[in-house]
Amino acid sequence: MAATETTVADACVAAKRAARELASVPTEAKNAALEATARLLEERADAILEANAGDLADERAASLTDALRDRLTLNPQRVAAMAEGVRVVSELPDPVGEELERRTLRSGIELRKVRVPLGVVAVVYEARPNVTVDCAALTLKSGNAIVLRGSSYAERSNGALAAVVREALAEAGLPEDAVTLLAGGGREQLGELATQEDAVDLLIPRGGEGLKAALKDVATVPVMYAAAGNCHVYVHAAADLEMARRIAVNAKVQRPGVCNAAETLLIDAAVAARFAPAVLADLAAAGVELVGDERARELAGGVEVGAASDADWDTEYLGLKMAVAVVDSVEEAIEHINRHGTGHSEAIVTADEEAAERFAAGVDAAAVYINASTRFTDGFEYGMGAEIGNSTQKLHARGPIGMRELTTFKYVARGTGQVRE
Amino acid sequence: MAATETTVADACVAAKRAARELASVPTEAKNAALEATARLLEERADAILEANAGDLADERAASLTDALRDRLTLNPQRVAAMAEGVRVVSELPDPVGEELERRTLRSGIELRKVRVPLGVVAVVYEARPNVTVDCAALTLKSGNAIVLRGSSYAERSNGALAAVVREALAEAGLPEDAVTLLAGGGREQLGELATQEDAVDLLIPRGGEGLKAALKDVATVPVMYAAAGNCHVYVHAAADLEMARRIAVNAKVQRPGVCNAAETLLIDAAVAARFAPAVLADLAAAGVELVGDERARELAGGVEVGAASDADWDTEYLGLKMAVAVVDSVEEAIEHINRHGTGHSEAIVTADEEAAERFAAGVDAAAVYINASTRFTDGFEYGMGAEIGNSTQKLHARGPIGMRELTTFKYVARGTGQVRE
């Protein structure tokens, strides 16, 4: 009942078959399946929580850190939030069938470029059981089948949730195999999944660097990697310094464990003497451990700032720590960011339009902010409804991966007997 | 003078530096470099032909097939055609800076999604020296730097052509390192190029299956593979049979050595008895060797049709050979194509709108043709001006790879001090 008991290859082939069917299903049928999922999540809340309690009581969960244990834990509010999330997805516009371009070729052929689903999307994830439902909803609405591979210690929770979605699919007359949770686990299974080239169109790893490294070695299917977010806030000479304080503190402190939080603060030398003591005091007061280059430490005005090592500029702390450097120009800031950044989210604070333009053009990142916090890089904030991850790749999808990013296109050409001369 | 004498890593780092500069260069400067390239190609035609003669006289060229030797050979017309091709690219619209989306977020932030160059594009190619210039022109106009790695037996020709483009870049005040030809060669060099993750944003192999297999094993940079084109023409029950004959013959015969030529003809059982003898006679008369399934052979009406093996359905002949099968329905045609096709170009001939729609929706390919030859899948025919290759991948680019496909985007967000709550 819980996880589907088949081999990885069989599961992927079944998913591919389901994907072919799902590709041309009308929006209403997909929405009906999503509505049924939301309703069943509510109806089956007790069974889901029981499965989750089983996972939490299992010896495999005994070694989890408090943070991971919290991520694994479900409660009535979290189940209700999942159902609500599914309803939000059902209200989002269906990306499939969107006409991206249309033109008449010189041959007289009518060429249309039409958005179609990718096919089979595989998602490998850790801990949080809600990912099962969130990802299934996004892939289903975008006409894709999904193969899910969660953590073994979340097996019962994920199984109960996947069973709910499969039941909802059947209820709506859609193929159950559009959502498949792999049973078992282990590195071997990961390798098997990552090499199903004939069936899997995209693999998205949602997890730490270890997972990504393991995939890089073996994957033959296309993988969309979400690189770490080593994000910067650069306070320019012409910055509104009050605004700069708010943005720097928000980017670091509001939720330090996420990829769009800032890790390094760059302060222009022209304002460093005035600005550094204030912002560093703010950060220290918010519990942020500070390390800096020589100039930043000199200008700290009594705030304790440790010596930054070379490695600090390349570190995503994912916590209450920040590196601070003083730079002499927009160009130096750009150079620092392009050398140390991961291409995620970068901010400049300035009232100088030309500096803003130079920074936006020169920084090589998915998102560049002018006078706003880096924390806004997010599918929901961007009006994409929801996201399945965040890409720092340049190909296919950059930034939040929403439903559109789970699609491709096909050219449909209509002729009247045209042949090539 | 010819090829740049540096290590692969040095060349890629220099290309990356050039790419950063090129990313924000105005269209006029890029066009000036292209105009200078075209002019210098004409002015230096004699020197280019001399270099080419050197390659042709070299012992490395002695073992080439006639076809490869022809591809390596330059003459005044071919040099003039290169110059003309560069002028065409200079007249194409600059894709860089195009605003793809703009919206005001609920936070009040103004979000723009803007087209930007990828950065450094590497192209690995065989034989034809004109690829040096064609690819350099497309990458330059789309704001990218290019690292080229040609065949060792085309070294002098490629070197002379790359030197012309670099001279033109310098003349236009642009960084010469935007176009770099790697010296030397060998599998080791290929592996080195394919692992320059910090510098190379995209690698495009233009060559046979051996090249692709070699890359799949080692590449850590993103690679855009152009799979073989095992394309089909399906003649539906409701086809205009005269039109179907023209399309089937054109798709196979007009230029059989290219990836959008058809390899298999599928004939609906409802019209097979009437249609097969006529079309097979046409194909045989055009010199096409035919193999077929049992029904096709029975209905061939005296035309010689050999027995197709299982392997035939999966073979890209790239020559005057075609497999023929009789199918019972649109669904069977779709299933055959999805099982054996490579997702390149697929055609249906029918006057039945519903059958056309079902085929277009059900076939999983970059391009689907209704009543037209598969041969139209081409950047120039599609109005994209030119192409650097043809992708059968689903991610990033599908179908012809033109200048737009050599770009990515970045989000530029303008705020007034917004922070995340």
A363-383 per-position pLDDT tens digit: 999 999 999 999 999 998 998
Answer yes or no: is pLDDT of A184 > 90: no
Residue range A397-420: mean pLDDT, rounded: 96
Burial A10-41 (b: 16+ CB within 10 A, else e): ebbbbbbbbbbebbbbeeeebbbbbbbbbbbb
DSSP string, B24-76: T--HHHHHHHHHHHHHHHHHTHHHHHHHHHHHHHSGGGTT--HHHHHHH---H
| Between A213 and A182, residue with greater pLDDT | A182
Cα distance between residue B142 and residue B31, in whole Å: 11
- Write out chain B residues lying below 8 Å of A239, CB-based: none
Answer yes or no: is pLDDT of B218 > 90: no
- Tokens 């690995």 appear where? B124
Q: Return the bridge partners of B290, or none.
A: B322
Residue range B378-387: mean pLDDT, rounded: 86
Answer yes or no: is pLDDT of A407 > 90: yes
Residue range B108-132: mean pLDDT, rounded: 94
What pairing do the DSSP bridges indicate for beta strands A407-418 and B99-104? unpaired
B298-324 pLDDT, tens digit each: 999 999 999 999 999 999 998 999 999
Domain ranges of chain B: 8-224+401-413, 231-376
Answer yes or no: is pLDDT of B274 > 80: yes
Task: Check residue B248 and give its pLDDT.
Answer: 98
CB A220 within 8 A of CB A195: yes
B411–A383 C-beta distance less than 8 A: no
What pairing do the DSSP bridges indicate for beta strands B390-391 and B399-400? antiparallel
B419–A373 C-beta distance less than 8 A: yes
B231-376 fold: Aldehyde Dehydrogenase; Chain A, domain 2 (3.40.309)
Which of A69-83, A348-362, B180-194 has the least mean pLDDT? B180-194
Answer yes or no: is pLDDT of A150 > 70: yes
Answer yes or no: is pLDDT of B3 > 70: no
Answer yes or no: is pLDDT of A1 > 60: no
Using 50, 70 and 90 to split pLDDT, how confident is the model at A5?
Answer: low
Which of A48-57, A330-339, B63-72, B194-203 has the least mean pLDDT? B63-72
Using 50, 70 and 90 to split pLDDT, how confident is the model at B380?
Answer: confident
Task: Check residue A385 and give its pLDDT.
Answer: 75
Task: Check residue A4 and give its pLDDT.
Answer: 45
E strands along A126-174, which residues?
145-149
- CA B355, chain centre distance (Å): 30
Using 50, 70 and 90 to split pLDDT, how confident is the model at A101?
Answer: very high
Which of A339-353, B128-142, B221-235 has the least mean pLDDT? B221-235
- Percentage of residues of chain B with pLDDT beyond 90: 84
Nearest to A417 among B202, B243, B412 (CB): B243
CATH of domain B8-224+401-413: 3.40.605.10
A69–chain B Cβ distance below 8 A for any pair: no
Supply the pTM of this predicted model: 0.91
Task: Check residue B2 and give its pLDDT.
Answer: 41
B255's enclosing H/E stretch is none
* Amino acid code (one letter) for B282: D
Nearest to B201 among A20, A246, A394 (CB): A394
What pairing do the DSSP bridges indicate for beta strands B399-400 and B345-349? unpaired
CATH of domain A8-224+409-413: 3.40.605.10
Touching B: A residues 155-214, CB under 8 Å: 201-202
Using 50, 70 and 90 to split pLDDT, how confident is the model at B261?
Answer: very high
Task: Check residue B387 and give its pLDDT.
Answer: 84
| Least Cα separation, residue B331 to chain A (angstroms) | 12
Answer yes or no: is pLDDT of B378 > 70: yes
Using 50, 70 and 90 to split pLDDT, how confident is the model at A3?
Answer: very low
Using 50, 70 and 90 to split pLDDT, how confident is the model at B184?
Answer: confident
Task: Check residue A2 and give its pLDDT.
Answer: 41
